[in-house]
């Protein structure tokens, strides 16, 4: 039998946990955080989303937590930043951020810049993968699909990696683009 004081505390805790917060009382930032893992802070992601130092509304469109056998855990997200005004480089910036949550420095960052040298026997230009893409028009699903490939974002994992958790943030995606997402983990 459970003592009365424990039963009252348990009932009160369950009642509080069951009472959802009405969405109309949330700030815009809180609404954009609803689809993120509880341990993530949208402000931390926004602070590291390029272009650096530029204010803007940040939308996490998708996120992935993966782990390998070492074990190394990597958290990554596909981020769209709306700068709110047109510029010569574009109003929107799509980026692929990651972090090692159990590492010494668990701040969000762009993956390393990869550059391949030009082909030794051909006139090919060097290839650079910078993990960010500026967009001049409000992105559509088609634009995001192409740009996601350019920033090396995949809706899945390669090799020995295992998915711990993942999601496409449907509300954020729709708020940012005006379209429902068509890309999901495990296929369309």
Q: What would the pLDDT profile of 22-65 be if each residue is shown by its tens digit?
A: 777 888 888 888 999 999 999 999 999 999 888 999 999 999 99
CA angle 47, 78, 57 (to 5 degrees): 45
- Provide the mean pLDDT of the chain: 84
Residue 18 lies in a domain: no
Residue 92 lies in a domain: yes
Instruction: Determine the pLDDT at residue 21.
Output: 63
Are the beta carbons of 85 and 91 closer than 8 angstroms?
Answer: yes
Tell me the pLDDT tens digit for each residue of 120-130: 666 666 666 67
Burial of 178 (C-beta count, 10 Å sphere; 0-12/13-18/19+): exposed
Evaluate whether residue 14 is within a structural domain: no
- pLDDT value for 20: 59
In a domain, 12, yes or no: no
In a domain, 185, yes or no: no
Lowest mean pLDDT among 9-13, 38-42, 94-98, 161-165: 9-13
pLDDT band at 1 (very low <50, low <70, confident <90, very high): very low
Average pLDDT over residues 95-102: 95
The total number of structural domains that make up the chain: 1
pLDDT score at 6: 36
Percent helix, strand, coil in the chain, to 5, is: 25, 25, 50
Domain ranges, residue 172: 27-177
Tell me, yes or no, whether 10 lies in a domain. Answer: no
Has residue 21 been placed in a domain? no
Please check whether residue 20 lies inside any domain of the structure: no
């Amino acid at each position: 039998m459970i003592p009365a004081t424990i039963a009252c505390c348990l009932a009160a805790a369950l009642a509080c946990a069951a009472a959802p917060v009405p969405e109309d009382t949330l700030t815009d930032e809180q609404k954009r955080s609803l689809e993120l893992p509880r341990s993530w802070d949208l402000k931390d992601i926004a602070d590291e989303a390029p272009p650096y130092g530029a204010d803007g509304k940040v939308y996490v469109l998708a996120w992935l937590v993966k782990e390998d056998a070492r074990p190394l855990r990597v958290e990554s997200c596909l981020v769209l930043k709306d700068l709110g005004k047109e510029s010569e480089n574009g109003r929107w910036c799509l980026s692929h951020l990651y972090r090692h949550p159990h590492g010494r420095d668990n701040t969000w960052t762009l993956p390393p810049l990869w550059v391949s040298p030009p082909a030794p026997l051909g006139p090919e230009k060097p290839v650079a993968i910078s993990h960010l893409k500026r967009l001049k028009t409000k992105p559509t699903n088609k634009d995001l699909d192409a740009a996601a490939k350019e920033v090396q974002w995949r809706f899945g994992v390669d090799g020995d990696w295992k998915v711990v958790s993942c999601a496409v943030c449907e509300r954020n995606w729709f708020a940012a683009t005006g379209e429902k997402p068509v890309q999901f983990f495990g296929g369309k």
